[in-house]
C-alpha cells in the first residue's frame, strides 16, 4: 500500500474492510521512514515499539467493529504537544530529556480512539520560526525538493505527511505554523478557531494565539480529525463551550451563493506573481461553481507583523521564563542561583528563542509597555474590527497562504526580519483567533507547491471546510 497521498478516510475504509491490518499500516509507515527519513529529518523521536503494540490493540477494536475514525491510524504529533511517558522536547536543548508525566488533551482524545503514534515531529525551537531550521536537533527538508525548507514551525509534521510517512499529523499554529508548512509541502492544514481545541499540554508559545490543528492529505481528513480533538476542556479556561456536531456537515454541499472575500492587501507587492496567479485561478474555479467573489480591504494588514511579534514575543518571554533549570530541563552550572539560571538559559535556548525573549521582555518593560505592548493590543482590536467588517459582507476570505513557495535551505538564516515579514499573510488570522485552512492550489514552474488559505468567521470551521472541499473536489 502506498502511503503517499493516502487519506485517513481511505485507510479507515481499508482497515474496516480488512484489506490491511493496523500493524501492516504501521509497518508501512516505518518502512517509508527507514527509507527516506535521513533525507527529510521529520522526526525527533520515533515510537516504534509502542506503535506496534498500539496497532495490535487497535486491531482488536477494529475486529470488534468498534473503530472510531482514527482507530489504528498511524499519526505523528508535533514535539511541543505533551505525550505521557514520551519525550517532548520542543526541539530545544532545554527540554532535550523532558518526559511529561501527562498527556495533552489532544493526545488523550487520540488515545481514546486507539490511534497509533508513530513519532514526535521536528519543529522550530519552541515553535519560533517559519522553516523548521531552528531546531536544536536537526533541520527538516521539504519532501518535494529536499534542498528547500518545509516551512515551519510545524515543518516536521507537514514533511512527514508530504513524504508519506504518516497520513496525517498534529501541528500547532501561533502565526501560521500549520498553514505555511502545509502550503510549502503541498498538503492541507487547518488552524481551528482559538478556543476550539484545548491547549492543555501544548507547550505554550503565544498563549493568546496558539492553537492545535491537523495536517493531512485532504480537507475532509482535517475536518474529521478536528471532530476528534475539538471540544471544551475544563483544564483550559480559554477552550470554548460552543459545540459543533460535525465539522464536515457542509463538506459535500455546493458553494453556490457562498460569498468569498478577496482582500486586496493580501495580493500586494510582497506576494510573488506565481502565487497570486495560482490563488486567483482557484478563486475563479470557486466562482465557476457558483460562489460570489467580493472585493474588500484590510487596511491594517501592514500592522499585522509588528502587532503579532510584539504580542507573541511578550507572551513567549513570560511563558519561557519557567525554564530556569530548577525543576526539569537543562540545568547549567554556577556558584549560585543567579549564575546557574543564566547558564541554564544561555545553554538551553537557541539564538531565535533568545531573540524573541529579549524582544518580548523589552516590549513589556516599564517605560516601554505603552509604546509597544499596549499599542500592539490596540492594533489587534483594529484588525479584528476589519475582519468583522469583511464578514458582514462575505462568508469566507480567500488569500495566498504565504508570499512565496518554499525557499532554499540556508537562504534566509541570517535575516530574521525578512523571515518575520514572510508571516504577513498568516498572522492576522491568529491575531483575530479565526479558523483558517491552507490547501494546495497548484505549483510553480519548478514544481514547488503553492497554497491558498480560506479564513472563516469564529467557530465557523464548517463553512471554511465546505469551501475547501469544493475546491479539492473540482
Partner 1 sequence: MKLYPTIGLEIHAELLTKSKVFCTCSAEFGGEPNSRCCPVCSGLPGTLPVLNKKAVEYIVKAGCVLNCDISRFTKWDRKNYFYPDLPKAYQISQMPRPVCLGGYVDIVSEGEPKRIRINRIHLEEDAGKLVHEDSTRQTLADYNRCGIPLIEIVTEPDFHSAADVTAFVEKIRLLLQYAGVCDGKMEQGSLRCDVNISLAEKDAKELGTRAEIKNINSVRAIGRAIEYEIYRQTELIESGERVVQETRRYTDSTGETVAMRSKEDAQDYRYFPDPDIPPIVFTEEELEQIQNDIPEMPESRRERYINQYGIAPNETESILNNKAVCFFFEEAVKYYNNPKSIASFILVELMRRINTGEADMEKLPFRPKDLARLVEIMDSDKINKSFGKNILCTMLETGKAPDAVCDEENLWIKEDLGQAEQVIDRILADNPAVVEQYRNGEAKVFGFLMGQANRQLKGVAAPGVVKGILERKLKEK
| Catalytic site positions | 78, 153, 177
Among 22, 25, 81, 169, binds partner 1 (CB under 8 A): 81
Binding segment (CB under 8 A) for partner 1, from list 235-243, 386-394, 399-407, 416-424:
235-243
Q: By CB under 8 A, tell whether 200 contacts partner 1.
A: yes
SS3 track for 243-286: CCCCCCCCCCCCCCCCEEEEEHHHHCCCCCHHHHHHHHHHHHHH
Beta strands at 292-296 and 43-46: parallel, antiparallel or unpaired: unpaired
- Closer residue to partner 1 in complex, CB, 326/473: 326
Give the footprint of partner 1 on residues 381-410 (CB under 8 A): none
Q: By CB under 8 A, tell whether 232 contacts partner 1.
A: no
Binding segment (CB under 8 A) for partner 1, from list 5-13, 79-87, 282-290, 296-304:
79-87
- Closer residue to partner 1 in complex, CB, 146/208: 208
Beta strands at 116-121 and 74-78: parallel, antiparallel or unpaired: parallel
The DSSP string of 307-369 is HHHHHHHHHHHHHGGG-SSSSSS-----SSHHHHHHHHHHHHS-HHHHHHHHHHHHHHSTTTT
Q: By CB under 8 A, tell whether 238 contacts partner 1.
A: yes
Total residues interacting with partner 1, rule: CB under 8 A: 43
- Closer residue to partner 1 in complex, CB, 102/267: 102
Among 369, 412, 442, 472, binds partner 1 (CB under 8 A): 369
Quote the least distance from Cβ 367 to partner 1, whole Å: 9
Q: By CB under 8 A, tell whether 208 contacts partner 1.
A: yes
Provide the 10 A C-beta neighbour count for residue 36.
18
- Closer residue to partner 1 in complex, CB, 69/98: 98
Quote the least distance from Cβ 327 to partner 1, whole Å: 6
Q: By CB under 8 A, tell whether 376 contacts partner 1.
A: no
Beta strands at 211-216 and 168-173: parallel, antiparallel or unpaired: antiparallel
Cα 204 to Cα 210, 271, 299, 416, distances in angstroms: 7, 30, 30, 21
Binding segment (CB under 8 A) for partner 1, from list 24-32, 135-143, 272-280, 310-318:
310-318
Among 124, 173, 315, 423, binds partner 1 (CB under 8 A): 315
DSSP secondary structure letter of residue 291: -
Cα 159 to Cα 153, 163, 182, distances in angstroms: 11, 6, 8
- Do residues 118 and 106 lie in contact, with contact meaning Cβ atoms separated by under 8 Å? no
Whether the CA torsion 388, 213, 408, 468 is positive or negative: it is negative
Dmax over CA atoms of the chain, in Å, equals 71
Nearest of 79, 176, 184, 187 to residue 142 by alpha carbon: 184
Angle between helical axes of 48-63 and 22-40 (0-180°, round to 10): 150
Question: Is residue 421 within a helix (H) or strand (E), and if so which, with residue range?
Answer: helix 416-421
- Closer residue to partner 1 in complex, CB, 233/423: 233
Give the footprint of partner 1 on residues 348-367 (CB under 8 A): 361, 364-366
Binding segment (CB under 8 A) for partner 1, from list 257-265, 292-300, 322-330, 348-356:
322-330
- Which chain residues interact with partner 1 by CB under 8 A? 80-82, 88, 90, 95, 98, 100-102, 104, 199-204, 206-208, 234-238, 314-315, 317-318, 321-322, 324, 326-328, 337, 341, 361, 364-366, 369, 373
Amino acid at each position: 500500500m502506498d502511503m503517499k497521498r493516502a487519506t485517513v478516510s481511505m485507510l479507515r475504509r481499508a482497515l474496516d474492510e480488512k484489506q490491511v491490518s493496523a500493524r501492516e499500516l504501521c509497518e508501512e509507515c516505518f518502512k517509508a521512514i527507514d527509507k527516506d527519513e535521513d533525507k527529510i529529518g521529520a522526526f525527533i523521536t520515533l515510537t516504534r515499539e509502542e506503535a506496534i503494540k498500539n496497532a495490535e490493540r487497535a486491531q482488536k477494536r477494529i475486529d470488534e467493529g468498534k473503530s472510531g475514525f482514527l482507530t489504528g491510524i498511524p499519526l505523528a504529533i508535533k514535539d511541543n504537544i505533551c505525550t505521557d511517558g514520551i519525550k517532548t522536547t520542543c526541539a530545544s536543548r532545554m527540554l532535550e530529556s523532558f518526559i511529561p508525566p501527562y498527556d495533552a488533551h489532544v493526545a488523550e482524545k487520540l488515545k481514546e480512539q486507539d490511534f497509533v503514534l508513530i513519532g514526535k515531529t521536528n519543529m522550530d525551537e519552541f515553535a519560533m520560526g517559519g522553516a523548521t531550521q531552528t531546531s536544536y536537533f536537526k533541520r527538516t527538508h521539504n519532501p518535494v525538493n529536499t534542498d528547500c525548507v518545509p516551512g515551519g514551525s510545524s515543518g516536521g509534521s507537514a514533511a512527514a505527511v508530504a513524504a508519506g510517512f504518516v497520513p496525517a499529523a498534529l501541528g500547532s499554529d501561533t502565526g501560521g505554523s500549520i498553514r505555511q508548512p502545509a502550503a510549502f509541502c503541498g498538503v492541507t492544514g487547518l488552524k481551528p478557531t482559538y478556543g476550539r481545541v484545548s491547549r492543555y499540554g501544548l507547550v505554550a508559545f503565544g498563549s493568546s494565539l496558539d492553537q492545535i490543528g491537523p495536517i493531512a492529505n485532504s480537507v475532509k481528513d482535517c475536518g474529521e480529525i478536528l471532530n476528534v480533538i475539538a471540544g471544551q476542556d475544563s483544564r483550559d479556561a480559554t477552550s470554548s463551550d460552543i459545540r459543533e456536531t460535525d465539522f464536515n456537515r457542509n463538506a459535500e454541499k455546493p458553494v453556490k451563493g457562498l460569498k468569498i472575500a478577496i482582500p486586496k492587501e493580501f495580493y500586494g507587492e510582497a506576494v510573488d506573481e506565481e502565487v497570486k496567479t495560482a490563488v486567483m485561478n482557484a478563486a475563479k474555479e470557486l466562482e465557476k461553481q457558483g460562489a460570489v467573489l467580493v472585493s474588500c480591504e484590510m487596511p491594517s494588514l501592514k500592522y499585522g507583523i509588528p502587532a503579532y511579534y510584539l504580542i507573541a514575543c511578550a507572551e513567549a518571554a513570560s511563558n519561557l521564563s519557567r525554564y530556569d533549570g530548577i525543576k526539569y530541563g537543562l540545568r547549567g552550572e554556577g556558584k549560585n542561583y543567579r549564575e546557574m539560571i543564566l547558564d541554564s538559559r544561555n545553554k538551553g535556548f537557541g539564538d531565535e528563542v533568545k531573540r524573541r525573549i529579549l524582544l518580548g521582555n523589552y516590549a513589556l518593560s516599564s517605560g516601554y509597555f505603552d509604546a509597544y505592548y499596549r499599542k500592539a493590543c490596540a492594533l489587534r482590536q483594529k484588525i479584528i474590527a476589519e475582519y468583522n467588517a469583511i464578514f458582514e459582507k462575505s462568508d469566507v476570505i480567500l488569500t495566498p497562504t504565504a508570499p512565496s513557495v518554499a525557499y532554499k535551505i540556508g537562504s534566509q538564516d541570517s535575516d530574521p526580519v525578512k523571515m518575520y515579514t514572510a508571516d504577513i499573510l498568516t498572522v492576522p488570522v491568529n491575531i483575530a483567533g479565526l479558523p483558517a485552512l491552507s490547501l494546495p492550489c497548484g505549483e510553480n514552474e519548478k514544481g514547488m507547491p503553492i497554497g491558498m488559505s480560506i479564513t472563516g468567521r469564529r467557530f465557523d470551521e464548517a463553512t471554511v471546510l465546505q469551501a475547501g472541499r469544493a475546491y479539492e473536489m473540482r
